[in-house]
Amino acid sequence: MSQTPYAFFRSVHDTLEEAGRVIELSSDVAVLLSQPKSEIVVNFPVRMDTGELEMFRGYRTQHNNLLGPYKGGIRYHPDVNTDEIKALASLMTWKCALMDIPFGGAKGAVKCDPTKLSVGERMRITRRFTHQLGTNIGPDHDIPAPDVGTGPAEMAWMMDTYMNTASTAQKNAQRAVVTGKPIACGGSLGRVKATGQGVAYCASEWARENDLKLDGSRAIIQGFGNVGSHAGLLLDSMGVDLVAVGDFGGYLVNAKGIDVRALLAHVKVTGTVAGFGGAERCSREDFFSADAEFLIPAALENQIGEDEARILKARCVVEGANGPVNPDGERALRQRGIDVVPDVLANAGGVTVSYYEWLQNRRSERWTLEEVDSKLEMAVVRAYQRVRDFAQNYGCSKRIAAYGLALKTLSECYGDRGVFP
């Protein structure tokens, strides 16, 4: 199975055009949404543990802020590139519009391999990157969050660096500059698990829609980081067996079910699922062809092409990751009658609770976990049902339906406001 080069932004744009035809989107709005508003690239020096100075490249792409401040994660990965970040930024615009969250879309990244960095190096990279972004971010302007390779620690450093650039009297008003912070720094209860939780709610809604008994069904999960592990834990609590799993270190299978908690404990120590004793090592092909009802991609984009789609046994792909199915994969899945719950819906739990965190910071409130969980469940289930109904009414895929709903919201707003000047 080879992974072909992926024109990620082109693929998102093609989906946008298809959805635009379905809702008869005006050509003006299509033009307005066709490119990000700004693409920021910064180069910055960081002192490494060896004592040497190294130059790093960071990115922030701001796609659209029609509905509210730009919003989107920060990725630390050696392969990040401008095409990928543009695509991910635009997905955030559709995601927030679909979820009816008053944010726009953005994405950022630093080209680095976080697995090879010490904590001190990650902190210095994060602080210097934040400083270099300067006023390009802000609680009313552009609000970063965690993504692949980053988490609460990076968000705390970003927040602290940004707050220290404000005047003393203004410091506390800047706390909402990032979401996904540690709880003690103003993070929201439930944010860490929120993306995986949204994935689990979508799987549960799909089961309901398709008369599948969730309890006793099986899932395979690619990527066992923030999204994959929390999706695994929550699905496990709903009675879904994890029968295969994989990450950058390799793939594992156990038809009798993998102990998700024990696997998580192993990953916390070793950083990878590889070497876990409760399952057999297997090939990537064996992983994708394992008997299961759900495939949850929760790693990176471009993971499911035609080859993977052809051997897949799952009935439904719930996209925890952004852009995991490429266009050839999507065609093959459609031909085989395998349904896809698209990324902009399936992983929207993260940005939804990020919005709750931002609200709590702005209002100086602290919500209970029960409040966060019940609001999130309502938001995801409502969005799922809107997407399902749109897809049925227009005879289209759930991906086109999700984009169609997002575009309707954006186009109504553009219609009311007009285009400057």
The yes or no reply on residue 342 touching ligand NAD (CB under 6 A) is no
The yes or no reply on residue 320 touching ligand NAD (CB under 6 A) is yes
Site for ligand NAD (CB under 6 A): how many residues? 23
Give whichever of 154 and 241 is closer to ligand NAD, judged by the CB atom.
154
Alpha-helical segments (H) within 210-335: 226-237, 260-270, 284-288, 306-311, 327-335
Binding piece for ligand NAD, criterion CB under 6 A, among 4-12, 116-124, 255-263, 298-306: 298-306
* Burial class of 369 by CB neighbour count within 10 A (0 to 12, 13 to 18, 19+): exposed
Member of 90, 126, 226, 411 binding ligand NAD (CB under 6 A): 226
Question: Reduced to 3 states, what is the DSSP secondary structure of residue 141?
Answer: coil
240-243: long-range pairs with CB below 8 Å, 24+ = 240/203, 240/214, 240/215, 240/294, 241/216, 241/217, 242/218, 243/218, 243/219, 243/290, 243/291, 243/292
Q: For ligand NAD, what does the binding mask look like between residues 183 and 202, x meaning CB under 6 A?
A: ------------x-------
Give whichever of 222 and 411 is closer to ligand NAD, judged by the CB atom.
222
DSSP state of 138: B
Cross-sheet strand order for the sheet of 339-341: 280-282, 250-253, 241-247, 218-222, 294-297, 316-318, 339-341
Member of 9, 224, 358, 390 binding ligand NAD (CB under 6 A): 224
Minimum distance from residue 411 beta carbon to ligand NAD (Å): 24
Give whichever of 160 and 319 is closer to ligand NAD, judged by the CB atom.
319
The yes or no reply on residue 308 touching ligand NAD (CB under 6 A) is no
Active site (annotated) includes residue 86: no
Q: Which residues contact 394 (CB under 8 A, 6 or more apart)?
A: 22, 400, 401, 404
Residue tagged active-site, from 71, 107, 193, 398: 107
Member of 144, 223, 232, 342 binding ligand NAD (CB under 6 A): 223
Minimum distance from residue 165 beta carbon to ligand NAD (Å): 26
Sites of contact with ligand NAD (CB under 6 A): 146-149, 195, 222-228, 246-248, 298-300, 320-322, 347, 350
